[in-house]
Chain A
Amino acid sequence: MNLKEWIFTTDHKRVGVLYLIGSIAAFGVAGVMAMLMRLELSQLGPTLTANPTQYNIWLYAHGAVMILGFQIPALTGFFANYCIPLMIGAKDVAFPRVNALSVWLFYVGIILAILTFFIPDPPDVMWTGYPPYSILTTGNTALYTFTVLILGFASIIGGVNFLTTVVYMRAPGLTWNKLNIFVWCTLAAFVLQLIFVPVLGTAVTLISFDKYLGTHFFDPARGGDVLTYQNLFWFYSHPAVYVIFLPFFGVVYEIVATFARNRVFNYAMVVYGGIFGIVALSGVVWVHHLYVSGMADWIRIGQMVTTLLISVPVGLMVIGLVGTLYKGAISFETPMMYALGVIFLFLIGGLTGIPLALPSLTLHLSDTYYVVGHFHYVMAVAGTFAIFGGVYYWFPKITGRMYSEFWGKAGFWLTFVGVNIVFWIMMDVGVKGMPRRYYDYAQFPQFEHAHQIMTFGAGIIGIGFAVAVINWIVGAMRGKPAGDNPWGSMSLEWTTVSPPPHGNWPTPPSVSEEWHPYGYGDGRVSSDEAILHTPDVPRVS
């Protein structure tokens, strides 16, 4: 193996694998932070540390790294990079060097996040960085600002790259209605990134301006307004939920269609109703994060309506999945277990979100463990399950080898049981009044037992994820050869060899009229018959 051809690579598949390695490492770091917090909370009084700021730093690292260092890069970095050019029959992305720049900027972001543990006065501003605390703290808020800016810039240039790639570089015959759902979902996520990341970038820049350059954006004494930060922040960070949700649901669609051996139920409704609907509504629901921050009623009521309304396109996407399962020839390999797990967890997370859309109930539930539990079900855990399922699903394509099915399922069941222990109990104690972000809960001794069970469950989750990652490492080194299309999928990425060479196909593919990525069922054509390898296909200029 030529290390130089990996580090300086511009190939989309190797850039993708670099993203995967970095984001799994980030997942490990952020997971350790979660374990430290759980251990701290496992009994009343100081357990690991007597310093609340230390707990704040763990909380900062857990939140910021899980979202900015793990989920977004794994989904819009690894999966998008590895799969999109293969799914659209392209040799590579439009701008391979820009792609390499975005992955190395991502690593710089990871390095900055890890510096948190080695520098004096690390940032202690949660992943939200709310002023006035972020401006008044002695912690290094600038590091938070630059981490967000660098990761944000990396995702913007990545988004520009992939939008250009899909618009201009699809294989001949691959029309918009033959795009994989994953490609549609990821394109939508990139459009959201392009529109909303700059707003977050502006917001976090301005807290550092206020802190270090003496501006007054968030200083009410000099004409500024603290709440505007929260508005700018959530104007990005709610759509960011969909930046994570859309690609992870796209991954689940690929897995479910393949293992149910069935067409995607109501493809047009999923794409033009579900995905387009989410993009259209995602920018007008952010106020539901600020119901208790002090907000005019007409804004709260209006955004309650839009928040409830966005369940409709999200529901269309869930119905699409369930309809794809209906009358399918389902088999239960490890990726499918994770995909079905996502549907289960996402339904619990989605339904428990409805009370939080209502300002009246939020007055009680805001800033309790209920919110934390809901959020982890709907996004953190569902998204992570989709990522793990997706890595298992494309594992034979990436490595050319097969993982261990037994350890795959063992890891799945451990994590599945663990997350339900932790986050179900979290919602329960939240309804009963356990506030979030407390490093000690001396006022609430009645919850100590629940906290102990949650810490125990967190240990099970940790073991389950570790089993999965070890399974990948062992499988990549010593797994049996998998063949080019072990799952019998119709999708284009399985028509090339495993692992695919530089340039993906010896000759660029074009697709026939009858082919569809989910063309299972009547009058089926095998993918080999459907893909026409024409020697010299004219490309765009």
Chain B
Amino acid sequence: MAHGNTHHAASHAAHSHGAHWDTSIWPFVISFGILFALPLAFSFHFVYHQPFVAVMMLGLGVPMILAGIAGWVSEAMGKGEGLSYGAMGWFILAEAMIFVSFFALYWFLRLAEPAWPPAGSVELPRVMPLVMTAVLVASSLTIHYAEHLLHLGDAGGFRKWLLLTIALGLCFLGMSAYEWTHLMHEGFNIGTNVFGTFFFTITGFHGAHVIVGLAIFLAGLPAALGGRASPGFMRTAGLYWHFVDIIWFFVVSQIYYW
């Protein structure tokens, strides 16, 4: 029950017998979508070498997850994000620990190597990461300004700056994808050596978090386009986006420029 004092029945009895209990089918749909799309699809492709079955599993699971998220968002948006900002803080603690693990491993293995980068590595681009940093920092500023406008009640201005933020995020992902293909073309990939392993997993995990951040914005987009944006939701989405931005500083300083 997200909304307040709607249940003031006169007696206990009225509550325990025949009273309505809240339900939602979407958590159930998403959970089983995850079962098909992740463990089963992955196992069929990589372990049992049946790519066709794997594709069928993805075809079953991914629509379930997407439908589940869409249903959840339309069912719940605007009905209880009051506590989500605080909750996002706890969630970010957990997310940050993923990167703490990665960087701890990276520092440990890198400092144990006699020479760095190990044989087989290629020169990483020097300018592109700077541009990517600028784009991501700019997107943090634009979402902050968008929230400010929403707070002032300027729905139109908010919409524009939110769309600009999403565009900058997509631009970042595009540059990342370009860089990956460029490096793989030069023969540097995830299996080349331990540096390739770290480069592609850490930038890949960061990119996945950018995608999640964009997905949170997209979940709020229909409401925003309809002029019904929830300030609580957007504030929480913005907090996650800033977190993704901060992680990038570690990625760029530790992987590219060290």
CB within 8 Å for A164 and B39 given contacts A14-B21, A194-B93, A215-B190: no
Tell me whether A223 and B194 are in contact (CB under 8 A): yes
Tell me whether B24 and A164 are in contact (CB under 8 A): no
Tell me whether A506 and B11 are in contact (CB under 8 A): yes
List B contacts of A157 (CB < 8 A).
91
A405 adjacent to chain B (CB < 8 Å): no
B1-47 CB contacts (< 8 Å) to partner A: 1-2, 4-5, 7-12, 15-16, 19-28, 30-32, 34-35, 38-39, 42-43, 46-47
List B contacts of A535 (CB < 8 A).
8
B201 adjacent to chain A (CB < 8 Å): yes
Which of A52-60, A128-136, A419-427, A495-503 touches B? A495-503
Please give me the residue from chain A that is nearest to B48 by CB atom: A120
B83-139 CB contacts (< 8 Å) to partner A: 83-84, 86-87, 90-91, 93-95, 97-98, 100-102, 105, 108-109, 112-113, 118
Tell me whether B190 and A96 are in contact (CB under 8 A): no
Tell me whether B101 and A199 are in contact (CB under 8 A): yes
Number of A-B contacts (CB under 8 A): 205
Taken together as a complex, chains A and B put the C-alpha atoms of A499 and B194 apart, in Å, by: 57
Tell me whether A194 and B94 are in contact (CB under 8 A): yes
B191 adjacent to chain A (CB < 8 Å): yes
CB within 8 Å for A100 and B109 given contacts A95-B87, A222-B193, A502-B22: no
List A contacts of B82 (CB < 8 A).
540-541
Tell me whether B26 and A97 are in contact (CB under 8 A): yes
Tell me whether B47 and A225 are in contact (CB under 8 A): no
- Say how far A210's CB is from chain B's closest CB, in angstroms: 9
Tell me whether A222 and B194 are in contact (CB under 8 A): yes
Q: DSSP majority for the B interface?
A: helix
Q: How many residues of A contact B (CB 8 A)?
A: 82
Which residue of the partner chain, among B27, B43, B86, contacts A167 with CB atoms under 8 Å?
A: B86
List A contacts of B1 (CB < 8 A).
91-92, 96, 502-503
- Say how far B88's CB is from chain A's closest CB, in angstroms: 8
- Say how far A169's CB is from chain B's closest CB, in angstroms: 8
Tell me whether A228 and B8 are in contact (CB under 8 A): no
Taken together as a complex, chains A and B put the C-alpha atoms of A120 and B43 apart, in Å, by: 11
Which of A107-115, A245-253, A293-301, A437-445 touches B? A107-115
Taken together as a complex, chains A and B put the C-alpha atoms of A540 and B4 apart, in Å, by: 10
Tell me whether B194 and A100 are in contact (CB under 8 A): no
Tell me whether A104 and B28 are in contact (CB under 8 A): yes
List B contacts of A206 (CB < 8 A).
105, 201
List B contacts of A350 (CB < 8 A).
none
List A contacts of B63 (CB < 8 A).
none
Which residue of the partner chain, among A95, A107, A201, contacts B83 with CB atoms under 8 Å?
A: A95
CB within 8 Å for A5 and B21 given contacts A194-B94, A199-B100, A203-B101: yes
Tell me whether A156 and B24 are in contact (CB under 8 A): no
Tell me whether A146 and B38 are in contact (CB under 8 A): yes
User: Chain A 225-236 against B: per-residue CB contact (8 Å), 1 yes, 0 no?
Assistant: 100100010000
Taken together as a complex, chains A and B put the C-alpha atoms of A232 and B193 apart, in Å, by: 21
List B contacts of A167 (CB < 8 A).
86
A197 adjacent to chain B (CB < 8 Å): yes
Please give me the residue from chain A that is nearest to B10 by CB atom: A506
Q: DSSP majority for the A interface?
A: helix
B254 adjacent to chain A (CB < 8 Å): no
Tell me whether B193 and A94 are in contact (CB under 8 A): no
Tell me whether A199 and B97 are in contact (CB under 8 A): yes
- Say how far B118's CB is from chain A's closest CB, in angstroms: 6
Tell me whether A228 and B108 are in contact (CB under 8 A): yes
B70 adjacent to chain A (CB < 8 Å): no
A539 adjacent to chain B (CB < 8 Å): yes
A10 adjacent to chain B (CB < 8 Å): yes
Taken together as a complex, chains A and B put the C-alpha atoms of A143 and B41 apart, in Å, by: 11
Tell me whether A142 and B22 are in contact (CB under 8 A): no
Tell me whether B201 and A209 are in contact (CB under 8 A): yes
List A contacts of B9 (CB < 8 A).
506
- Say how far A399's CB is from chain B's closest CB, in angstroms: 12
- Say how far A295's CB is from chain B's closest CB, in angstroms: 13
Please give me the residue from chain A that is nearest to B102 by CB atom: A202
- Say how far A317's CB is from chain B's closest CB, in angstroms: 25
B76 adjacent to chain A (CB < 8 Å): yes
User: Chain A 1-23 against B: per-residue CB contact (8 Å), 1 yes, 0 no?
Assistant: 01011011111001000000000
Tell me whether A163 and B22 are in contact (CB under 8 A): no
- Say how far B102's CB is from chain A's closest CB, in angstroms: 6
Taken together as a complex, chains A and B put the C-alpha atoms of A91 and B95 apart, in Å, by: 29
Please give me the residue from chain A that is nearest to B18 by CB atom: A2
B72 adjacent to chain A (CB < 8 Å): yes
A473-524 CB contacts (< 8 Å) to partner B: 496-497, 499, 501-503, 506-508
A198 adjacent to chain B (CB < 8 Å): yes
Q: Please give the residue numbers on chain B whose beta carbons come within 8 Å of chain A beta carbons, in ascending order.
A: 1-2, 4-5, 7-12, 15-16, 19-28, 30-32, 34-35, 38-39, 42-43, 46-48, 72, 75-76, 80, 82-84, 86-87, 90-91, 93-95, 97-98, 100-102, 105, 108-109, 112-113, 118, 190-191, 193-195, 197, 200-201
Q: List 13 A-B contacts (CB under 8 A).
A: A10-B23, A112-B39, A142-B42, A143-B39, A150-B39, A160-B87, A168-B86, A199-B98, A206-B105, A209-B201, A215-B191, A223-B193, A502-B22
CB-CB nearest 5 A-B residue pairs:
A223-B194, A501-B15, A104-B31, A146-B39, A214-B191
